[in-house]
Structure 1
Amino acid sequence: MFPFFSYIHLTFPLLIFFFSSSLLFLPLSSASDYPDSSTQLIVDVLPNNTWHSLMRFLDAGKGNRVDGMAELKRYFRRFGYLSVPLENNSFNDFFDDEFEAALRSYQKNLGLSETGKLDHDTMTVIVSPRCGVSDFPGAGGNHALKTTRHFAYFYGEPRWVRSPPMLLTYAFSPGNVIDYVSLEDVTTAFQRAFSRWSAVIPVNFTEAEGYSSADIKIGWYSGDHGDGEAFDGVLGVLAHAFSPENGRFHLDAAERWAVDFTAEKSKVAVDLESVATHEIGHVLGLAHSTVKEAIMYPSLSPRTKKVDLRRDDVVGIQALYGSNPNYRYNARLESDMSSGRGMDLERRKGLMKWSATMFILACIFSLGL
């Protein structure tokens, strides 16, 4: 009844990726290409030899043939930029016209310079953490999103339907929890995440007394946990959730979750409140946004806190549910409606620093130090 989907459209099973030693990425699931029921946010950290694998793609352009390009094309297909070749149902290693068009579309959507080449900025973003759902909900192939809006919905624009005032309940699975973050801290993080959405729409959230009766059921799971989308361990898929009115919200128990980065020192720690806020957007019916500042943008880096709704998030969710009568428009959010043209300086600096760190680690491991 509720088709599963991959992140980032959470209504079809989310699409999952990881970096292989032969290339950088391979799909972990057979989820469909377009979100329609589940959302997954993924974080990939380069394996020891991955930076060297990446180097052979740098500055590749139309007409080039690069070993492993077929895997890169499969990555682009997962996010909706390419269709499977009709002739032999497989991709080749040639940088052809179709891939160049797909790459330019990808660069436009991810706020990169539209060079049509696999330049440094583009490759750095490709290997950066992101959500696994198609960037083109409900449509296949290389189609640009409407320029009149940046947010998106699942196919059919599903939403929760309740008599006003709308109240949705949530609960945490009593048997599927993490033990290194207190229940109080977990509850507080989710309360803040839910409150951000209820501040802008006429929907309230309250914790239910019983798990089985809750509208939204939250839990931490490992590996294959029975919903058709197995988790893949540390630094893989972070979480997935289903579109309305399913309510399932699963987080990967193998990740290192954090509510306070001053206390949690792990370099791969993931902010719980940030992921919760994003996934709640999917639970309510939002798919991915092309605005990089938006909560519903598909990327989230480790040790990054991103919890404030932006204008794109607000406009998108209010189109589904209406506005909270007490909501007051904040003109500051106008600046958040980025066109996606060009990466901002701070993001560029962060990506360059991250890339340099990975390169140094790769060298150290290759030398056996």
Structure 2
Amino acid sequence: MASKLCLQLCLLLAFITPHLTSARHLHNRKPSPFLFPKHLIGSSKNDSIVEGIHKVKAYLQRYGYLSNENEKKLSTDAFDDDLESAIKSYQKFSNLKVSGVLDRETLQQMSRPRCGVRDTYVSVGQQEHENKNTNIEIGGSHYTFYYNHVTWPAERRHLSYGFIHDFPPQHVDTVRRAFQTWEDNTKFSFFLSPRVQTADILVSFERGEHGDHEPFDGEGGILAHSLGAVDGRVHFDADDRWEGDPMERYDLETLALHEIGHALGLGHSSSSLAIMWAYMYKGFPKTRLTIDDIEGIRALYGS
């Protein structure tokens, strides 16, 4: 009788244990980040008014797809022609199905961690239009220029850089490698400034509002940004995870390459393979420039 009872208990434990393990795994697993209410999935202009759509408008305005001229209009939940057009522009630039509909793929893309520099830009000889993403493809390339189209003058090709605000020493060599990669592929050379006060490019970790009117947002969301050529400031969000398991942290060298590209005058690329692609995926570092990145910098400064 006792052996029969023992056998029954063993069978019961064999059945329960996997389910307990699975439940514990699901409990400990971090939820997939999703910035927008899930009821927005499938929303379109035909829906007229959709609760929470103003959050999508704020995102598209933040990254240059919607004009900020009418702030009252941006604060409403009306799904109008302007929003549909902005979504289509965003989908095209992000290599998504261009429909003007807020499908799951579009909202997931909007939820991914990214660079804080907006996606609009100007090409040579063009005026900037904040409500129009004037994408240009040259010879099959997908690069763009930084939205203010400022470049370093011809006499400044030997640029200094410095680390400020108690930059973590363990990350210095990583950023130096990123500068070296750009030097190997451009007419620029870079050196560590002996006096940080005079450095052309200043690199730092920052939190929240940090004096450039482009506040960071804590973990996830905006990972870094640069204020473009000549200004030269490059900022990483200190609240994001930059150390530890490669599958759980953001790769600093990838972000440094990206932000230095902005500091040289490049905008975002519509190629997901390029260093200048706006989004970052954990566990997928990029440590080399692509043809698209190199063609972009050569379009700015010559071969």
TM-score (normalised: structure 2): 0.77
Q: Per-residue CA shift, 1:265-323, capped at 9, x if unaligned?
A: 27651111011000000111111111121111111123331222112211110122223
The AA in structure 2 aligned to 1:171 is G
Q: Is the 8 A contact 1:243 1:285 kept in 2?
A: yes
Q: Per-residue CA shift, 1:164-194, capped at 9, x if unaligned?
A: 8x31111222x4223xxxx3x5232122211
- After superposition, the Cα gap between the structure-2 partners of 1:154 and 1:144, relative to the gap in structure 1 and judged at 3 Å, is closer
- After superposition, the Cα gap between the structure-2 partners of 1:304 and 1:196, relative to the gap in structure 1 and judged at 3 Å, is same
Secondary structure in 1 matching 2:234: strand
Partner of 1:96: 80
Out of 273, 282, 290, the residue aligned to residue 310 of structure 1 is 290
Partner of 1:169: 160
Structure 2 residues without counterparts, runs of 5 or longer: 1-29, 122-127
Out of 269, 276, 291, the residue aligned to residue 296 of structure 1 is 276
Out of 40, 45, 50, the residue aligned to residue 57 of structure 1 is 40
1:251 shift after superposition: 2.0
Which structure features the higher share of helix residues? 2
1:49 shift after superposition: 10
1:235 shift after superposition: 2.4
The 5 A counterparts of 1:99-248 are: 99-137=83-121, 138-148=128-138, 149-155=141-147, 157-161=149-153, 163=155, 166-173=157-164, 175-178=165-168, 183=169, 185-248=170-233
TM-score (normalised: structure 1): 0.64
Larger Rg: 2
The AA in structure 2 aligned to 1:168 is L
Out of 254, 262, 271, the residue aligned to residue 239 of structure 2 is 254
1:208 shift after superposition: 2.1
Partner of 1:80: 64
Q: Is the 8 A contact 2:114 2:279 kept in 1?
A: yes
- Say what the alpha-carbon RMSD is for the aligned residues: 2.7
The AA in structure 2 aligned to 1:159 is T
Q: Per-residue CA shift, 1:75-105, capped at 9, x if unaligned?
A: 2222222234759544432333332222222
Higher RCO structure, 1 or 2 (CA under 8 Å, sep 6+): 1
Identity of aligned residues (%): 35
- The separation in 2 between residues aligned to 1:68 and 1:306, in whole angstroms, is 35
The AA in structure 1 aligned to 2:146 is F
- The separation in 2 between residues aligned to 1:280 and 1:310, in whole angstroms, is 15
- After superposition, the Cα gap between the structure-2 partners of 1:223 and 1:69, relative to the gap in structure 1 and judged at 3 Å, is closer
The AA in structure 2 aligned to 1:58 is I
Q: Per-residue CA shift, 1:217-248, capped at 9, x if unaligned?
A: 22222333333333333224322222221222
Secondary structure in 1 matching 2:203: strand
Q: Is the 8 A contact 2:147 2:267 kept in 1?
A: no
Secondary structure in 1 matching 2:37: helix
Q: Is the 8 A contact 1:235 1:268 kept in 2?
A: no
Structure 1 residues without counterparts, runs of 5 or longer: 1-46, 259-263, 324-369
Segment of structure 1 superposing worse, 149-158 or 236-245: 149-158
Q: Tell me if 1:282 matches 2:262.
A: yes
- The number of residues matched between the two structures is 265
